[in-house]
Amino acid sequence: MSVKVRIPAPLRKLTENKTEIEANGKTVQELIENLEKKFPGMKDRLCDETGKIRRFINIYVNEQDIRFLENENTKLKDGDEVSIIPAIAGGRKDSAFLK
Amino acid sequence: MSKLYLKKTQLTEMFTHCRETFPNEACGILAGKDEQVDKIYPTKNVSPTPYTRYLIDPQEQFKIFKEIEKENLEMLAIYHSHTHTHAYPSKTDCELANYPDVFYLIISLVNPKEPVVKSYSIVDGKIKEEEVEIND
C-alpha cells in the first residue's frame, strides 16, 4: 500500500527536509518499519523501546487519530494520508513521570 | 528566525486567556505570515496536572493545523503561561520542545497585574531569547 506521509519539522533532518514522502505498509506498524528503512533513525523518534508509539507523538490516518482506531495495527490503504504530529507540551517540574 | 510581531490587542487576548486559566497553565498557538501574528488559537490544556504542566489537546491541535494550512498561514509560535515562575523555559519545556522552527512565548503571571511575555527559540534543547515587537 502506497501512502503519503506528512513529516513534521523536527523529523525533516532525517528526510533531507522533505515535508511529504511516499512510503509503504499495510498497517501503521509496517509503515514505520518502511520509514525506518528509508530514513534510518525514524523509528527511534516515533516509538519507544517496546515498539509502541511514543506518548508525545500523535499519528493520524487521514483525519483519524490512530489511538481511536487500532493504534499501530491500524490498517492502511492506497492513497491514505498519514500525518505525524508531535504534541505541544511542557511544564514546570522535571518530566520523569511523563516518559 | 528573526522576530515576532504581535498586535497589542493580541497580547491582551493572550494575557486574558492566561489570567482566566489561572491557577492552571494556559496554552495556545499563534499563526500568521511573514512573522506577523494574524490569529490566536487559545487551546484546552488537557494535561492531567494542568497546575504545573500543559498539553494541547491533540485533536484540537490537529484541527488548528488543518485550519492554518487552509488559510494559507503558518504556525509562528506556541504560547503558555508560567503561573508561579519567571518567563524562562523550564527543563521540561526544553525536553518537550518539538518545534524548532517556531517561537516559544512564555507569559509569566508572577505579578498577575503586569504579566511579562518573552520569546524563545528552543532547538535541540538549546534556548535562545528572541525579539518580540508589539505593534498597534
Give the model confidence (pLDDT) of A40-78 as tens digits: 999 999 999 998 999 899 999 999 999 999 999 999 999
Q: Which residues of A touch B (CB under 8 A)?
A: 8-10, 56, 58, 60, 63, 65, 83, 85-95, 98
pLDDT average, residue stretch B92-110:
94
Q: Average pLDDT of chain A?
A: 91
Identify the pLDDT of residue B76: 96
**Contact yes or no for B62 and A87 at CB 8 A:** no
Identify the residue with better confidence: A91 or B43. Answer: B43
Whether B78 has its CB under 8 Å from any CB of chain A: the answer is yes
Which residue ranges form the domains of chain B, and what is each CATH number? 3-135 (3.40.140.10)
Identify the pLDDT of residue A93: 64
Per residue in B10-41, pLDDT (tens digit) is 999 999 999 999 999 999 999 999 999 999 99
Q: Which residues on B lie below 8 Å from A98 (Cβ)?
A: 53, 92, 96
pLDDT band (50, 70, 90) for residue A10: confident
Q: Closest Cα to residue B6, out of B36, B41, B49?
A: B36
Identify the pLDDT of residue B85: 93
In total, how many domains does chain A have?
Answer: 1
Q: Which residues on B lie below 8 Å from A10 (Cβ)?
A: 98-100
Q: Closest Cα to residue B20, out of B48, B55, B45?
A: B45
**Contact yes or no for A10 and B99 at CB 8 A:** yes
Provide the pairing of β-strand A20-24 with A57-61: unpaired
Whether B61 has its CB under 8 Å from any CB of chain A: the answer is yes
Q: Which of A9, A83, A89 sits opposite B100 (nearest CB)?
A: A9
pLDDT band (50, 70, 90) for residue A1: confident
Identify the pLDDT of residue A9: 83
Identify the residue with better confidence: A95 or B65. Answer: B65
Provide the pairing of β-strand B126-135 with B3-7: parallel
Q: Which residues on B lie below 8 Å from A45 (Cβ)?
A: none
Task: State how far residue A25 is from chain B, nearest Cα, in angstroms.
Answer: 23
Whether B12 has its CB under 8 Å from any CB of chain A: the answer is no
Domain that holds residue A25: 2-98
Distance from C-alpha of A97 to C-alpha of B98, rounded to nearest angstrom: 18
% chain A with pLDDT above 70: 93
Whether B55 has its CB under 8 Å from any CB of chain A: the answer is yes
Q: Average pLDDT of chain B?
A: 95
Identify the pLDDT of residue A95: 42
The three cell numbers of residue B26 are 494556559
ipTM, 2 dp: 0.94
Distance from C-alpha of B129 to C-alpha of B122, rounded to nearest angstrom: 9
Identify the pLDDT of residue A97: 43
Per residue in B43-96, pLDDT (tens digit) is 999 999 999 999 999 999 999 999 999 999 999 999 999 999 999 999 999 999
**Contact yes or no for A89 and B55 at CB 8 A:** yes
Residue B101: closest CA among chain A residues belongs to which residue? A9
Q: What CATH code is carried by the domain that includes residue A80?
A: 3.10.20.30
